[in-house]
Chain A
Amino acid sequence: MSAIIRIEHLTRIFDVSKPWLNRLIERAPRALLTAVSDVSFEIEENSVYALVGESGSGKSTIGKIIVGLVPPSQGSVLIEGVDLATESDAAKIDAVRADIQMIFQDPYASLNPRWRVRDIIAEPVAARGGATTGLAEKLLEQVGLSAADAGKYPHEFSGGQRQRICIARALASGPKIIVCDEPTSALDVSVQSQVLNLMSDLREELGLTYLFISHDLTVVHHMADRIGVLYLGRLVEEAPRDTLFADPKHPYTQMLFDAAPRMDAFGREVDPPKGEIPDAINPPSGCAFHPRCPLAIDRCSRERPEMRRLGDTRVACHLAE
């Protein structure tokens, strides 16, 4: 297996300053929000790579950079060896673009209510001038809906069915990679299991690669082969699924696992984690997690830990062993 996506030292900084005149009057400095900071990882072909983290950890931003919705500030994203941001050969860019699609969180907001399902699904192909006859019907059956649904409008479907339509649209251009940004967090449990099973089946049938973005550890555990844990825009730990869950190395990963509610932990008394995610505009010095970390030493507040390799795990912590 080879890496289909290679991400190297990816950084994205958003300018969230107030308008020029306000800054002048209030003498306020520019405010720069570092959403993604020096993140590197690789995704193997035909695998599921999951990014987990709490809100503000930069997981959605990485997804958007990969599909090209947001350009990176520094670093590079290589998809099948092509860097979309710097590649000058239009034919190459075009070929890669067709290979990568995205599924969004909210199936109510990501389908145009004025378009028929047939047009929604065929759009990625129609936009490139491809033949779309019968395409929507075939895809609808593939995702467990009926071909007769092609003439309907999105409002005629439930949340789970809409997410199936979104999946059908993502499959239309015959992609190799699908970026799934919280694909089931807007769905109920019984519908969520239907969608997750469908995604697993499609992956096997079509040999897809998923980048699975989620905050739900149980869903990630169910779907992923390899997991990256993000905290405040930084990759703090990365490991194969079983290794990560059996032996989390980073104190943040351990905290996240302890805090997640468990269905078999009746009346469990948790010692809840302290503090909240700090402000990304003024992140803490050194390791971003040190103000909340139970193990923090002096060095953690001064020096940002490098990614280190420990067995199968890569971890960014001075103390992990």
Chain B
Amino acid sequence: MTATPVLSVRNLVVEIPTRHGVLRPVDAVSYDIHAGEILGVVGESGAGKSMTGNAVIGLLDPPARIVSGQILLSGQPVHTLRGDALRRLRGKRMGMIFQDPLTSLNPLLTVGDQLTETILEHLDVSPSEARKRAIAALEEVGIPAARDRIDSYPHEFSGGMRQRVVIALALCAEPDLVIADEPTTALDVSVQAQIIALLKRLCRDRGVAVMLVTHDMGVIAEAADRVAVMYAGRLAELGPVREVLTDAHHPYTAGLMASTPLASQGHRRLRQIPGAMPRLGNLPPGCAFSPRCDHVQDRCRHDPSPTLDTCDGRAACWFPLRSQKDNTPEHDQEAEA
């Protein structure tokens, strides 16, 4: 891919100064997202997934701040923007979908008011045109009878419908990049399938770049093109979704996959990763995963933490797992069937 990526994050470092020292919830993270591509970001709670998304869209809560690195939107730096310049960009060029659809809508305004406000703010159109576009946006995300529902308040919608409104709101100013932070976590399985299908369709039809933050490996497998696995604020592995999930190079990714119950395994005992993710204030020296890793060697405990660049480009690990593709052909066949 030679085209300029829609989003390019380079060596991003976010720090939070506290009384007990400086924490780094995001540490030297780099990735690109191209137009029409869905990048899945997975990790456990506290891994820095949401913090990365918030840094990109300029919604870090002080005292958290970007201390180094670059965020480029279609080649333009955005991490240096402040105030009005950032506000013009946010919503217009970047849309955000949050986890909880109830708290991300204003309960005192109708959904039509919220949509037209966003459209009028970012696009140069008349109020009647804005209303027309708002109705079209609601129809596009699959809200039945959009013309009648547009003057309803958020509480009059169900959870799934509310999340559709939030997606319409994120997309109504036709952004190039959408950051979806756990968009289906609060929803039921059947509604989740609807929302994932909707996101995929919008991404394909409009060529929007999507950053999909989630902890659900199943959602990633079905929706994402590429996946970034995060651990303790650092990128552990980054690559095409099928390769990362079936043939992990980083022991953490492999452990994560093995500890997820799979329908084909029945009652077999789950493999467990011992311990829990270290707290940010208490990271071990060297690789952050070393205390829990089965393959740990001396170098992992002492050398500065590995990055994708210092290793094989896929996994941030000094001793990436050998390709095991030859041993597990049935897994691939299953996926293709």
With known contacts A189-B44, A196-B270, A266-B241, A219–B193 Cβ distance under 8 A:
no
Q: Is there an interface contact between B260 and A263, defined as CB atoms closer than 8 Å?
A: yes
Instruction: Give bound CA distance, A161 to B274, whole Å.
Output: 12
Q: Is there an interface contact between B189 and A215, defined as CB atoms closer than 8 Å?
A: yes
Instruction: Give bound CA distance, A18 to B188, whole Å.
Output: 28
Partner-contacting stretch, out of A2-10, A169-177, A267-275: A267-275
Q: Is there an interface contact between A197 and B260, defined as CB atoms closer than 8 Å?
A: no
Q: Is there an interface contact between B222 and A267, defined as CB atoms closer than 8 Å?
A: yes
Q: Is there an interface contact between A188 and B45, defined as CB atoms closer than 8 Å?
A: yes
Q: Is there an interface contact between A215 and B188, defined as CB atoms closer than 8 Å?
A: yes
Partner-contacting stretch, out of B9-17, B57-65, B122-130, B210-218: B210-218
Q: Is there an interface contact between B44 and A190, defined as CB atoms closer than 8 Å?
A: yes
With known contacts A160-B276, A221-B261, A266-B335, A276–B190 Cβ distance under 8 A:
yes
B231 nearest CB across to chain A (Å): 10
Q: Is A321 an interface residue, CB under 8 A from the partner?
A: no
Q: Is there an interface contact between B222 and A266, defined as CB atoms closer than 8 Å?
A: yes
Of A261, A265, A270, A276, which contacts B191 at CB under 8 A? Answer: A276
Instruction: Give bound CA distance, A219 to B44, whole Å.
Output: 17
B47 nearest CB across to chain A (Å): 9
Instruction: Give bound CA distance, A277 to B158, whole Å.
Output: 10
Instruction: Give bound CA distance, A271 to B197, whole Å.
Output: 8
Instruction: Give bound CA distance, A160 to B274, whole Å.
Output: 11
B38 nearest CB across to chain A (Å): 10
Of A217, A222, A259, which contacts B267 at CB under 8 A? Answer: A222
Residue with the greatest number of chain A CB neighbours at <10 A, chosen from B219, B261, B263, B334: B261
Q: Is there an interface contact between B276 and A264, defined as CB atoms closer than 8 Å?
A: no
Chain A: interface residue total (CB-CB under 8 A) = 44
Of B190, B217, B269, which contacts A189 at CB under 8 A? Answer: B217
With known contacts A189-B259, A197-B270, A255–B190 Cβ distance under 8 A:
yes
B172 nearest CB across to chain A (Å): 22
Chain B residues with CB under 8 Å of A222's CB are 261, 265-267, 270
Instruction: Give bound CA distance, A194 to B276, whole Å.
Output: 10
Of B190, B257, B261, B270, which contacts A273 at CB under 8 A? Answer: B190
Q: Is there an interface contact between A268 and B222, defined as CB atoms closer than 8 Å?
A: yes
Identity of the chain A residue whose Cβ is nearest the Cβ of B197 in the assembled complex: A272
Q: Is A153 an interface residue, CB under 8 A from the partner?
A: no
A228-264 at interface with B (beta carbon < 8 Å): 242, 245, 255-256, 258-264
With known contacts A193-B271, A221-B263, A264–B188 Cβ distance under 8 A:
no
Q: Is there an interface contact between B276 and A191, defined as CB atoms closer than 8 Å?
A: yes
Chain B: interface residue total (CB-CB under 8 A) = 48
Instruction: Give bound CA distance, A263 to B248, whole Å.
Output: 14
Chain A residues with CB under 8 Å of B272's CB are 190, 193-194, 197
A100 nearest CB across to chain B (Å): 24
With known contacts A261-B196, A266-B221, A267-B222, A188–B190 Cβ distance under 8 A:
no
Q: Is there an interface contact between B222 and A188, defined as CB atoms closer than 8 Å?
A: no
B231-267 at interface with A (beta carbon < 8 Å): 241-242, 245-246, 255-257, 259-263, 265-267
Q: Is A73 an interface residue, CB under 8 A from the partner?
A: no
B244 nearest CB across to chain A (Å): 11
Chain B residues with CB under 8 Å of A260's CB are 189, 193, 218
Q: Is B192 an interface residue, CB under 8 A from the partner?
A: yes
Instruction: Give bound CA distance, A268 to B241, whole Å.
Output: 12
Q: Is B175 an interface residue, CB under 8 A from the partner?
A: no
A156 nearest CB across to chain B (Å): 12
Q: Is B25 an interface residue, CB under 8 A from the partner?
A: no
Residue with the greatest number of chain B CB neighbours at <10 A, chosen from A192, A193, A196, A265: A193
Contact with A along B5-46 (1 / 0, CB 8 A): 000000000000000000000000000000000000000110
Q: Is there an interface contact between B189 and A270, defined as CB atoms closer than 8 Å?
A: no
Q: Is there an interface contact between A262 and B221, defined as CB atoms closer than 8 Å?
A: yes
Q: Is A146 an interface residue, CB under 8 A from the partner?
A: no
B218 nearest CB across to chain A (Å): 3
Of B189, B216, B218, which contacts A256 at CB under 8 A? Answer: B189
Instruction: Give bound CA distance, A161 to B335, whole Å.
Output: 35
Q: Is A55 an interface residue, CB under 8 A from the partner?
A: yes
Q: Is B132 an interface residue, CB under 8 A from the partner?
A: no
Contact with B along A182-206 (1 / 0, CB 8 A): 0000001111111011001000000
Q: Is there an interface contact between A265 and B188, defined as CB atoms closer than 8 Å?
A: no
A267 nearest CB across to chain B (Å): 7
- Taking A191-B44, A221-B263 as known contacts, 17 extra A-B pairs with beta carbons closer than 8 A to each other, sorted by chain A number, are A54-B189, A54-B190, A189-B260, A190-B255, A190-B256, A192-B259, A193-B260, A197-B269, A221-B266, A222-B267, A245-B263, A259-B189, A260-B189, A260-B218, A261-B196, A261-B221, A266-B335
A-B pairs with lowest CB-CB distance, top 8: A261-B218, A193-B259, A188-B44, A222-B261, A259-B193, A54-B188, A193-B270, A272-B194
